[in-house]
């Protein structure tokens, strides 16, 4: 393993702290790599942005991130960003491999027994043509219900920081995911926002019946691993700390404490 390879980090990018669900899985598979976590909290939530403006923001932001960190690979751990800007990032920065996060509609269609699948996402991901193309390509034999939540990402951020969240408010957000017809009912809910797995145990407790809550984080990490060059024996290299960077430059105390819990030094 060369010193250069060991020192080139993997960037994990999200609008907030939801991408930590992907980082957690990536570290399990790649303990020998260094990570730089980027939280665009100054732009959070992405669902409220006009598409052109958000695309320009992210592409422009990566010019500086690539110049500063020289990443070996970049993981866009955000469904809203991935379904909008992944192609533009690859065109703008062809030397950097980009791994996106898109709704896990194909595996959901392969696993469902009832044929009723719901996709729980942000409004931006729900309205994206990319999402509907996935359904057309992989789930034409299923009844796929797209559920856009305006509030769950912020609720997940509050929950992981230790703030109180109201059960009834969450129940109202997930209720449209549950559909019954002719004795069959929804058996899989795709978590199409990386923030949502932080609430998975809450979802399970509040759901009207048991379903498979499909979290794509491990699959994203495996895809990233498949694109990396071999890194020697896999032993822990000597490199700098994994760091978290917030675009606001001013994360609050609860967020800094959360980053510390994930083993990230806040830059």
Residues marked active site are found at: 78, 193
Q: How far is CA 240 from the centre of its chain?
A: 25
Torsion of CA 3, 9, 10, 15, to 10 degrees: 180
E strand spans, 79-197: 98-99, 116-121, 143-148, 180-181, 184-185, 188-192
* Contact criterion met (CB below 8 Å) for 251 and 20: no
Nearest Cα to 18, choosing from 124, 160, 171? 160
Contacts of 167 (CB under 8 A, 6+ apart): 202, 206
Q: Take residue 206 and report the two structure tokens written for it.
A: 């509040």
Q: What are phi and psi of 121, to 5 degrees?
A: -145, 180
* Contact criterion met (CB below 8 Å) for 139 and 112: no
The 3-state DSSP class for residue 99 equals: strand
Q: Which helix (H) or strand (E) holds 225?
A: helix 217-227
How many Cβ atoms are within 10 Å of 5's Cβ, its own excluded? 16
């Amino acid at each position: 393993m060369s010193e250069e390879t060991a020192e080139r980090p993997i960037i994990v990018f999200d609008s907030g702290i939801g991408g930590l669900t992907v980082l957690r899985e990536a570290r399990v598979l790649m303990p020998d790599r260094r990570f730089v976590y980027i939280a665009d909290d100054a732009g959070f939530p992405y669902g409220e942005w006009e598409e052109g403006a958000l695309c320009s923001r992210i592409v422009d932001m990566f010019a500086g991130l690539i110049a500063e960190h020289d990443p070996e690979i970049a993981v866009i751990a955000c469904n809203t960003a991935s379904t909008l800007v992944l192609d533009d990032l690859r065109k703008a920065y062809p030397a950097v491999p980009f791994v996106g996060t898109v709704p896990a509609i194909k595996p959901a269609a392969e696993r469902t027994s009832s044929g009723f699948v719901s996709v729980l996402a942000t409004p931006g991901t729900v309205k994206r043509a990319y999402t509907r193309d996935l359904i057309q390509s992989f789930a034409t034999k299923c009844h796929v219900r797209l559920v856009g939540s305006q509030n769950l990402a912020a609720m997940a951020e509050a929950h992981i920081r230790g703030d109180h969240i109201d059960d009834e408010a969450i129940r109202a957000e997930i209720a449209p995911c549950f559909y019954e017809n002719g004795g069959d009912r929804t058996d899989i809910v795709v978590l199409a926002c990386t923030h949502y797995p932080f609430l998975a145990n809450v979802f399970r407790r509040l759901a009207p019946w048991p379903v498979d809550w499909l979290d794509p984080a491990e699959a994203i990490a495996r895809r990233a691993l498949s694109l990396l060059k071999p890194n020697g024996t896999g032993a822990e290299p000597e490199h700098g700390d994994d760091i978290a960077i917030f675009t606001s430059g001013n994360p609050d105390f609860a967020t800094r404490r959360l980053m510390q819990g994930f083993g990230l030094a806040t830059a």
